[in-house]
Amino acid sequence: MTNRKPDYDAVIVGAGFGGMGAGIELKRQGLTDLAILEREDDLGGTWHVNHYPGLAVDIASVTYSYSFAPNPYWSRLFAPGAELKKYAEHIADQYDLRRHMEFGTAVQRAEWDDDDHLWTVYTDDGGSRTTRYLVTATGFLSQPHTPDFPGIDTFAGDIIHTTDWQDGYDFTGKRAAVIGTGATAVQLIPEIARDADALTVFQRTPIWVVPKVDFPIPAPVQNLFAKVPLTQKAARLVNTSLLEALMVFGVLHFKQTKPGNKMAALLAKAHLRAQVRDAGTRRKLTPAYDFGCKRPTFSNEYFRVFNRPNVTLQTSSIARVEPDGIVTDDGHKTMIDTLVLATGFNLWDTNFPAFQIIGREGRDLGPWWREGRFQAYEGITVPKMPNLLSLNSPYSYSGLSYFTTIEGQMRHIARLFGELRRRKADTFEVTEEANTEFLDRSTHALDSSVFYAGDCSGSRSYYFNQHGEATLLRPSSTRSTLREMETFPLDDYTYA
Ligand code: NAP
């Protein structure tokens, strides 16, 4: 135990669903002095930042929500983005989290003080605060990636990154380009195609797209969910089990269950054949890597767009941007008025971690991960980083609903803080041995996955880091992850 009292029991960085989940759990553990620091001007994380047209969840809403705070009133099976933002606001109110939140506060650096057993957190306004526990909940997909295309600064029209959408932007009468064909582009492109005079989609790597079974949830069903919560629980269980089967058999146990994975690819190909008339376009839209190497997506609208006379699929590489258009390697110039960057996020260079974190004996987390191997015990704690809960760590993401990840981490926090209380301690640190054992086990488990046993060579998937290791997803089923989070050996940590 230490004497110096920090400003806060815990500082949580990020007011999205991860940060709010951590806040809820820490309050349950009896911590009262919390600060939730958020660089944006409101809560909701990805669902505050993203509001491009067409935005919706791509995991059914009965599953994409906290299991302990179901919302019976989702309007559709796959709710639109605005409903997620509302749900985030509701959670903040229901769990009295708002009073802990400080917006427009970006954390630059955090440093562990080994004498007083506390973290000092430095913010970009020049301020600093001390805290016993530091929780980073900065998201995986939170540092927008803007490629450095030659000449992009000279473009005379509007440039819009999907994370910085100009609400109400009117594409009528405009010649637009969308660069990127990830999950974001798949949702956005049909919306732009409807209004723009001309739309050119610049695709570097095609994405696997499967049909989306989506429909409005009628009011009587919503009322039933509200009156008999067990019915919504059952719907959640069915949906989660289906997703789980896809993940476990299609992705994680690819080696043993290849036919399941191939079936998914066949379904996506049949979907493409049914929706796109031109064989050449279909060929260009067909991925050459195995299903699951990068996150597949769902859409009934995306492929159809390429039948429209105002839409062109461009697969030549972008050579440069000029004031009035984009020139590709084949010398062709596409004249455009508006350039939309659906170019995703940088994970491995700038986001692991999202700000500098210096632990015991000067261990600097970012360089330590990059120069060595990306690793975190149970995807949440790191040796020589006492009292740090790093929610968006290597091997933390379940690959399914983000809520599966955060709820597992909440269980881990509960067990850890229970032990701190039992020992009357205030400091925890994971041992090097436990961390290495978890890393070895995860690396070994991935051998059977599509990432290593399949062909992911041309996928350019953000599941892989710069060393070619697939260190984002936790290679275990949801059930075993949740079990492990509440039964991990307590002596995997030291306490003081
Ligand atoms: P993304 O999947 O990383 O896609 C980025 C796209 O930009 C890719 O097609 C990429 O091509 C392209 N790109 C990047 N740099 C480029 C360059 N220099 N030249 C040409 N093309 C370039 O990002 P995202 O679409 O924003 O989606 C990220 C994740 O967010 C998704 O996987 C999903 O997990 C999540 N998401 C969820 C929802 C939802 O739940 N509703 C919606 C949207 C997104 P390459 O593939 O060749 O790199």
Q: Out of 3.40.50.1000, 3.40.50.150, 3.40.50.2000, 3.50.50.60, select the CATH number for domain 152-208+277-289+294-341.
A: 3.50.50.60
The pairing of strands 325-328 and 333-335 is: antiparallel
296 lines ligand 1 (CB under 6 A): no
How far, in Å, is the centroid of ligand 1 from the Cα of 1? 46
Task: Find the 246 Cα to ligand 1 centroid distance in Å.
Answer: 21
pLDDT of 4: 81
pLDDT-derived band at 400 (thresholds 50, 70, 90) equals confident
Cα 282 to averaged position of ligand 1 atoms, centre (Å): 20
Mean pLDDT value across residues 343-348:
96
| pLDDT band of 69, cuts 50, 70, 90 | very high
E strand or H helix at 423, and its extent? Answer: helix 402-423
Q: Is the CB of 344 under 6 A from ligand 1?
A: yes
Question: Considering only CA atoms, which residue is closest to atom 17 of ligand 1?
Answer: 147
CA 343 to ligand 1: nearest atom: 7
Q: Give the per-residue pLDDT at 2.
A: 54
Q: What is the mean pLDDT of residues 365-371?
A: 96
HSE on the CB side for 256, CA within 13 Å? 8
Average pLDDT over residues 455-483: 95
Query: Does ligand 1 come within 6 angstroms of the Cβ of 61?
Result: no
- For residue 205, the ligand 1 atom closest to its alpha carbon is 47
Is 63 near ligand 1, meaning CB less than 6 Å away?
no
Q: 134: Cβ below 6 Å to ligand 1?
A: no
For the segment 459-484, the average pLDDT, to the nearest whole number, is 95
Quick check: helix, strand or coil at residue 190? helix
Question: pLDDT by residue (tens digit) across 437-447?
Answer: 999 999 999 99
Q: Where are the domains of the chain?
A: 8-142+347-495, 152-208+277-289+294-341
pLDDT reading at 127 higher than 70: yes
Gap from CA of 210 to ligand 1 centroid (Å): 16
CA of 180 from ligand 1 middle (Å) equals 6
The model carries a pTM of 0.96
Q: Report the chain's mean pLDDT, rounded to a whole number.
A: 96
CB 214 less than 6 A from any atom of ligand 1: no
Q: Residue with the nearest Cα to atom 46 of ligand 1?
A: 205
State the helix-helix crossing angle for 17-28 and 402-423, rounded to 10 degrees: 30
Q: How far is CA 27 from the centre of its chain?
A: 25
Nearest Cα to Cα of residue 247 among 140, 405, 416, 379: 405
Q: Report CA 360 to chain centroid distance, whole Å.
A: 29
pLDDT of 240 reads 92
Mutational test site, ligand 1, from 184, 340, 463, max ligand atoms within 8 Å of CB: 184
| 151/266 Cα distance (integer angstroms) | 40
Span 166-182, pLDDT tens digits: 999 999 999 999 999 99
Distance in Å, CA 51 to ligand 1 centroid: 15
What is the 130 CA–ligand 1 centroid distance (Å)? 37
Query: Is the model's pLDDT at 83 over the cut of 90?
Result: yes
State yes or no: pLDDT of 146 exceeds 80: yes
pLDDT digits (tens, 9 = 90+) for 193-220: 999 999 999 999 999 999 999 999 999 9
What pLDDT was estimated at residue 452?
95
Position 3 scores a pLDDT of: 66
List the single range of 216-225, 245-254, 468-477 with lowest mean pLDDT. 245-254
The residue whose C-alpha atom lies closest to atom 4 belonging to ligand 1 is 182
Residue nearest to atom 29 of ligand 1 (CA): 183
Task: Name the band, by pLDDT with cuts 50, 70 and 90, for residue 399.
Answer: confident
The CATH number for 8-142+347-495, chosen from 3.40.50.720, 3.30.450.20, 3.50.50.60, 2.60.40.10, is 3.50.50.60
Cα 181 to ligand 1 centroid, rounded to whole Å? 6
Average pLDDT score over residue span 271-297: 96
pLDDT of residue 246: 85
| Predicted local confidence at residue 257, as pLDDT | 87
What are 237-269's pLDDT values in tens digits? 999 999 898 888 889 999 988 988 999 999 999
Stretch 467-496: mean pLDDT: 96
Percent of the chain topping pLDDT 90: 95
In the numeric block, the tokens 């260009």 are attached to: 284
What spacing in Å lies between the alpha carbon of 400 and ligand 1's midpoint? 17
b vs e for 4-14, b when ≥16 Cβ sit within 10 Å of the residue's Cβ?
eebebbbbbbb
User: Dmax of the chain from CA atoms?
Assistant: 72
3-state secondary structure of 315: coil
Window from 254-263, 316-325, 334-343 with minimum mean pLDDT = 254-263
**Spatial CB neighbours of 123, under 8 Å, sequence gap ≥ 6:** 37, 105, 106, 107, 108, 129
Q: How confident is the model at residue 1 (pLDDT cuts 50, 70, 90)?
A: low
Instruction: Tell me whether domains 8-142+347-495 and 152-208+277-289+294-341 share a fold.
Output: yes
> Which residues, including other chains, have CB under 8 Å from residue 392's CB and lie 6 or more apart?
18, 136, 137, 138, 139, 140, 351, 352, 353, 354
